[in-house]
Amino acid sequence: MAGLLAVGAPVMAQSSVAISGTLDVGLRHVRNGALGSDNSEVSGANATSKLVIRGTEDLGSGLSAGFYLDGSLLADVGTAGATAPAGQFWDRRATVSLGHSRWGELRSGRDWVPTHLVWSGFDPFSTLGIASANTFRSFSASRALGQAFGTAPEALAANPTLRVSNAVEYFLPGGLGGTYGSVTVTAGEGGTTTNGFTSGDGFRLGWTGGGVHVAAAQFTTRNATANQRFKDQVIGGSWDFGFAKLDVNQRRWIFGADRTVNTQVGAVIPMGQGELKVTWMAANQTGATAAQSANDASLLGAGYVHALSKRTALYTHAARISNRGAAAFAVPGGPAVSGNPAAANFFGGQKSSAFEAGVRHNF
């Protein structure tokens, strides 16, 4: 930080502040096997409903400062924070940064975990809606996640597979021939996974050029249950042929003897003013017991997004999850399910299917 400050000459600083965001509301129908179906209105199925305030200040000689505030909105009910605990308005991102055109950027605060950036970047549905690649990021159905972080609301809000708090990050500068990357370290601050502190570190490294994009990332959490390490690993690639862009993506969650491996293959096909999206994903679980290895699942999804303008679009998605063994993955928004065979709403081995349609507007 001191080195970056040293290269800046005393100049008249220029600054700018911008407000933007998205409102996305849709109607969703979900059927969870023998448990029946539910209809609901949802927010953020095609693009997260959010409010963003960001600003930059030009300090001269290639040096700049900036801030970024990004908070979820539940547009269907008019409240803030999709999954955040009480009082956490800027649940998606809250960072301050100092950057240099030649040396890169230092950033601190709350931000996206490196593995999620790679995972969502190769998902045709950007990990949103009923066909999301995050469908199998279930802390009750994925044994690796459940064993590491539990299923309490505070643990779900603090999990390091989506965003991390108390982070310090370094980002490579642009102009490196298509290569980009970052390193993230989070402070433990004496906490545990149940109160929002996740001490860990990770990286992201990728390259893009000529219609080809490849990337990999890892994030390791050190304060998981019983002081074991939880590893989150992602590798992916895409090829843009013009008439279609194909994506291949794999994410591994490893905790002790338990692991969940999610493999996703998808495509985005331009169609005039719209685009067709398709995805197939499989969750392969292994664990300490032989039965755990049989608890796998697959997802098949498709969607169409039609642009009415540069800022407004209509969309429709359909998806179906097929569970095997005692796996109990389900599309969000349906009747509550359980992976416990003794529970009245036990869902092991059943299918979850869904349909949704809505409108998205960026401002």
Q: Confidence class of residue 198 from pLDDT cuts 50, 70 and 90?
A: low
Q: What pTM value is reported for the model? A: 0.90
Domain ranges of the chain: 2-362
Hey, how many other C-beta atoms are within 10 angstroms of the C-beta on 118?
24
For residues 348 and 33, give the distance between their C-alpha atoms in angstroms, rounded to a whole number.
10
Check whether 93 has a pLDDT greater than 80.
yes
Q: What pLDDT score does 195 carry?
A: 53
Amino acid in the structure at residue 186? T
Q: What is the mean pLDDT of residues 264-283?
A: 97
Which stretches within the chain are classed as H helix?
A: 2-6, 114-121, 143-149, 153-158
Q: Taking Cα atoms as reference points, which of 67, 59, 74, 45 lies closest to residue 12?
A: 59
Range of weakest confidence among 6-20, 209-223, 320-334: 6-20
Average pLDDT of the residues in 145-154? 76
Cβ atoms of 84 and 91 closer than 8 Å = yes
- DSSP characters over 66-101: EEEEEEEEETTTTEE-SSPPTT-S--SEEEEEEEET
Of the pLDDT bands very low, low, confident and very high (cuts 50, 70, 90), residue 73 is very high
Which of 138-142, 237-241, 247-251, 352-356 is predicted least confidently? 138-142
Q: Which CATH architecture has domain 2-362?
A: Beta Barrel (2.40)
> In this predicted structure, what is the pLDDT of residue 74?
92
Residues 301-319 have pLDDT tens digits of 999 999 999 999 999 999 9
**Three-class SS state of 274:** strand
Give the gyration radius of the chain's Cα atoms.
21
The band of 146, judged by pLDDT with boundaries at 50, 70 and 90, is confident
At residue 38, the 3 state secondary structure works out as strand
Residue 237: pLDDT band by 50, 70, 90 thresholds?
very high
**For residue 342, what pLDDT is reported?**
87
- Stated length of the chain: 363
At residue 189 the predicted structure's pLDDT band, cuts being 50, 70 and 90, is confident
Distance (Å) of CA 54 to CA 107, 126, 153, 173:
14, 22, 29, 20
Per-residue pLDDT at 1 = 47
Residue 211 zone, left/alpha/beta (φ > 0; ψ -120 to 50; rest): left
User: Given a cut of 80, is residue 153 above it in pLDDT?
Assistant: no
Residues 13-27 pLDDT 10s = 678 999 999 999 999
pLDDT in tens, 102-142: 999 999 999 999 999 999 999 999 999 999 999 999 888 88
The amino acid sitting at 43 is S
> What is the structure's pLDDT at 9?
42
Q: Which of 22-36, 89-103, 143-157, 172-186 bottoms out in mean pLDDT, i.e. has the lowest?
A: 143-157
Range with lowest mean pLDDT among 41-55, 131-145, 184-198: 184-198
pLDDT at 11: 45
**Secondary structure (DSSP) of 112-178:** E-HHHHHHHHT-TTTT-STT-TTTT--TTT-HHHHHHH-S-HHHHHH-TTTEEEEEEEEE--S-STT
- Indicate whether 184 pLDDT > 90: yes
Report the relative pairing of strands 200-209 and 37-43 from DSSP bridges.
Answer: unpaired
